[in-house]
Structure 1
Amino acid sequence: MKKFLLGCAYLLLVTWATFTATTVAAEQSQRLGPWEVHYNAFNSTALRPEMARQYNLERGETIATLNIAVLAAEKPGKPAQRVTVAGYAMNPLSMQQKLEFNEVIEGDAVYYLAQTSFTNLETLRFFITIKQGNEVQELRFSKEFWRN
């Protein structure tokens, strides 16, 4: 659990440190069935170049990065859950962009990263399906993005 939290904290710290002067970046979470799903979406320019290379992510003024981690809600301290994550982002014109998630495992930490493009001052709606065995849940959230 500590490694998971350190991995998430590192990614969130990078995001927070980049935007401290102008905006607040915050991780969010939702309880979905047996899971506590933590998620964050931010402009990829918040990533340091070496971090982007490490996780094979692109950096760009109009590229958003998503980070999703799934924990067992009823079992605090249990390692992150390995799940299947799929979904899409929808812009205000209802155009969809499929999200390709990559699983990252670092010790007990498991999280899923994806990227999508946006236009300046665009609010994207995210529809994420999370599956494990017969359990299926959908995470939905919106986020406004702007060019840096």
Structure 2
Amino acid sequence: MGRLTLLLLTACLSASALAADVIKGERQETFGDVTVHYNTFNSTYLQPDIAKAAELIRSKNQGVINVSVIKDGKPLVASVTGTVKDLTSQSVTLNFRQVTEQGAVYYIAQYLVEQQETRTFEIKVQNGDKINTINFNQELFPGE
């Protein structure tokens, strides 16, 4: 399963490099001593065996959001929730599920991508009593 983590992270970074509106490098937000790494990409960036192992639907109309929470250089278990809104402010709940393998903990969710558009994501990460919120916009494209 370590291969799954490596390939998911590689897919995230590759998707970032290909998206014109993504700042070079990794997306992250720091809240005190906790850093939240996040990225979203079309599920077709995943190899079929990796998508299957991660229980993700690999389709040109499915996006994936991947979130990891780090404290003192180590993965942190947290509660991750979120929504994605289109330009008409129609909101869809992101159903994150935790994946744990070989010292890595991350949270993944999928959402529908029917057409090219910019969407607004709101991700809430709760660690203990503290809730941190990340908001970002991402231009999305159906895959090939």
How would you bin the TM-score normalised by the shorter chain? Answer: 0.7 to 0.9
Partner of 1:88: 83
- Offset of 1:15 from its aligned partner? 4.8
Other structure's SS at 2:60 match: coil
Moved over 4 A (4+): 6-9, 15-20
What is the aligned counterpart of 1:145 among 136, 140, 144?
Answer: 140
Instruction: State how far apart, in whole Å, the 2-side matches of 1:131 and 1:30 are.
Output: 14
Q: Is the 8 A contact 1:33 1:137 kept in 2?
A: no
What is the aligned counterpart of 1:10 among 4, 7, 18?
Answer: 7
Partner of 2:123: 128
Q: Is the 8 A contact 1:39 1:69 kept in 2?
A: yes
Give the total of aligned pairs: 138
Structure 2 portions without partners, runs of 5+: none
Instruction: State how far apart, in whole Å, the 1-side matches of 2:15 and 2:132 are.
Output: 32
- The amino acid of 1:51's aligned partner reads I
- Residue pairs, 1:94-133, within 5 angstroms: 94-133=89-128
Taking every aligned residue pair, what percent have the same amino acid on both sides? 29
Structure 1 portions without partners, runs of 5+: none
Other structure's SS at 2:49 match: helix
TM (norm. structure 1) is: 0.82
TM (norm. structure 2) is: 0.84
Q: Is the 8 A contact 2:83 2:91 kept in 1?
A: yes
Instruction: State how far apart, in whole Å, the 1-side matches of 2:139 and 2:46 are.
Output: 18
Partner of 2:30: 31
Q: Deviations over 1:9-58 (max 9, x none)?
A: 432323556897xx258531111243111001000111111111101101
Other structure's SS at 2:139 match: strand
Instruction: State how far apart, in whole Å, the 2-side matches of 1:136 and 1:16 are.
Output: 26
Instruction: State how far apart, in whole Å, the 1-side matches of 2:107 and 2:124 are.
Output: 12
- The amino acid of 1:30's aligned partner reads E
